[in-house]
A = this chain, B = another copy of it.
Amino acid sequence: MTTQPSRARRSLWMMGLESDEPSDQQRAERARELSARLGREVEAPQIARAEDLDLRAPRIAPPDALAGFCLQDAWNRAYHSYGYDRTSHHLRRHYPNPPDVVAHPRTDAELAAVLEWCSDEGHCVIPYGGGSTVVEGVTPPDDAGPIVTIATDELDQVLEIDATSRAARIQAGVFGPHLEDQLRPHGFTLRHFPQSFTGSTLGGWIATRSGGHYATNHTHIDDFVESVRMLTPTGWWETRRLPGSGAGPDPNRLVIGSEGIFGVITEAWMRIQARPTFRATAGARFATWEAGYEATRQIVQAKLWPSNLRLLDPELARSSAGMDGREALLIVGFESAELSQRANITTAVEIARDAGGVIADDDIAVDDGTGAPTGRSGAVGAWRDAFIPSGGGAGVGGTTAIGGTFETAITWDRWPAFDAAVREATIGVLREVCGGGTVNCRFTHVYTDGPAPYYTYAGVPPAGADRDEVHRAIKRAASDAIMAGGGTITHHHSVGRQHRPWYDLERPEPFAQALRAAKRTLDPSWVMNPGVLVDPT
């Protein structure tokens, strides 16, 4: 295998496939639109092909026995250098330390062989799922020696379905859509739809504690993992299929969120669900962003467990749902495979109205299993269309504008002051560096004890500015404010290399010591995803 002809190539510079890339003309039009909106000149420069890149020659070659699945071509090495942050790097052909080898193991034996080779030789190993990281979780450190990226894309099958227990054994490298395609004929769904759904994998979701599309109750991948299988340099970590257990600290929970520092996740038994057929949604308008908090909090604390409970600030409500730019929008949705959600939406609407929300009758929709479209019209419908797969940034891909996202979680008591501080810190840098810009927020997930706010920012750096440095300055200011305000450095984007300084502040020091000791034991050569989560000393 010298290439992977059976797989559609993914884009080197945007999320999605090469075949999804806009034409040069489309990019030029988009740049003109952005210029008008942002009041600054935005361009759509030439984009290099993989073959045009001047990559450092590989420093190592795989042993002959591994050559069948270990590739070294330009596309593989360039593609696997980045996650979703690939855009600006590719625009300026910035590939300082691409992987020397990209392995695509097809079996346990092939995976074990490549991991043994790397551990014995001290080559860095970077596990690579869908490559949807926005925090440099798969980027080789600039100073890293020989690098072997292990892509899991050949491990993409649903191997077994236990319909009685509603669980499935699934290989870790399967992308979201392909996973759902394999469950659908059996009437099931994993019902895990992170915003990166089309470009991320089961293994990546587990390694990064992915948050699903659903806003309350079981939405994090953590809750769906029944058992997991991971190969560490010292052997297989395989847990039992158990609905629940109280036997010591949960061994799954040390794998979930481990971001490749212990090993490569190869498969998991996942809790699956019957496909929903009953749905109900409503959209509530609030006079201000602040006015929406109370309804949101009361609905989640009433434990109705809506599948959707998203509060959008006025600007997002405008850009995503066609609203007037002054009102905030709270979208509430329920779904079930078994039961009408009419009573739930009625209750949620009552709570929202009592808390000051205005809900138009045509923004309440109930589908009692008839298949009638629900929440696909009005503000809710407009928002839904905009959600997947719009992804990070603010639609600035392929232009000289910049956009990005960051997210956190915070308890309700701290929330309003926290929001003000985080926005002020972020807009402050945008003003200083870009002469202005936008910062917006929505709740992606809501807990009884607090929301998970998700921020987007956009701006246009001055001509000749170091775009990465602009991103970093914005991110630094936002992250400092998040830490100072008591939040988490990431609610579901994971730590990667970008969040390390703040992650180190957030976690308890004894936990860092425990993690370091565990890694030293399981990965004695310290080859697994170096620079992520912990350092050797």
Query: Using a CB–CB distance below 8 Å, which chain A residues touch chain B?
Result: 162, 164-167, 208-211, 217, 220, 222, 226, 230, 232, 234-251, 253-259, 262-263, 271, 273-274, 297, 301-305, 336-339, 343, 347, 409-413, 445, 447-452, 486-495, 499, 503, 506-511, 513-518, 520-522, 533
Tell me if A515 and B244 are in contact (CB < 8 A). no
- Residue pairs across A and B with Cβ atoms less than 8 A apart, 17 shown, are A164-B297, A167-B411, A217-B217, A226-B449, A243-B451, A247-B495, A248-B257, A248-B507, A250-B256, A251-B507, A251-B511, A254-B511, A262-B510, A302-B336, A513-B518, A514-B521, A515-B518
Residues of chain B lying within 8 A (CB to CB) of residue A506? 240, 247
Tell me if A303 and B338 are in contact (CB < 8 A). yes
Tell me if A248 and B165 are in contact (CB < 8 A). no
Give, as a whole number of angstroms, the nearest-CB distance from A347 to chain B.
Answer: 6
Residues of chain B lying within 8 A (CB to CB) of residue A413? 162, 164-165
Residues of chain B lying within 8 A (CB to CB) of residue A250? 209, 222, 253, 256-257
Tell me if B522 and A514 are in contact (CB < 8 A). yes
Contact of A338 among B241, B302, B508 (CB under 8 A): B302
Evaluate whether A249 and B257 lie within 8 angstroms (CB atoms) in the complex, with A165-B450, A510-B234, A521-B514 already known: yes
CA distance A116 to B491 in the complex (A): 36
Give, as a whole number of angstroms, the nearest-CB distance from A176 to chain B.
Answer: 17
Tell me if A449 and B303 are in contact (CB < 8 A). no
Contact of A254 among B220, B336, B514 (CB under 8 A): B514
Tell me if A243 and B411 are in contact (CB < 8 A). yes
Tell me if A244 and B491 are in contact (CB < 8 A). yes
The count of identical subunits is: 2
Tell me if A244 and B271 are in contact (CB < 8 A). no
Nearest B residue (CB) for A253: B253
Residues of chain B lying within 8 A (CB to CB) of residue A533? 248
CA distance A521 to B199 in the complex (A): 39
Residues of chain B lying within 8 A (CB to CB) of residue A521? 513-514, 516-517
Tell me if A490 and B246 are in contact (CB < 8 A). yes
Tell me if A411 and B452 are in contact (CB < 8 A). no
Give, as a whole number of angstroms, the nearest-CB distance from A432 to chain B.
Answer: 28
Residues of chain B lying within 8 A (CB to CB) of residue A495? 247-248
Tell me if B243 and A452 are in contact (CB < 8 A). yes
| Highest count of chain B CB atoms <10 Å: which of A242, A347, A486 | A242
Evaluate whether A165 and B412 lie within 8 angstroms (CB atoms) in the complex, with A336-B303, A449-B226 already known: yes
| Highest count of chain B CB atoms <10 Å: which of A235, A259, A413 | A413
> Assuming A246-B492, A516-B521, what are 4 further A-B pairs, CB within 8 angstroms?
A234-B513, A236-B508, A249-B256, A273-B448
Tell me if A259 and B248 are in contact (CB < 8 A). yes
Give, as a whole number of angstroms, the nearest-CB distance from A514 to chain B.
Answer: 4
CA distance A537 to B409 in the complex (A): 40
Nearest B residue (CB) for A294: B164
Tell me if A491 and B245 are in contact (CB < 8 A). yes
Residues of chain B lying within 8 A (CB to CB) of residue A447? 243-244
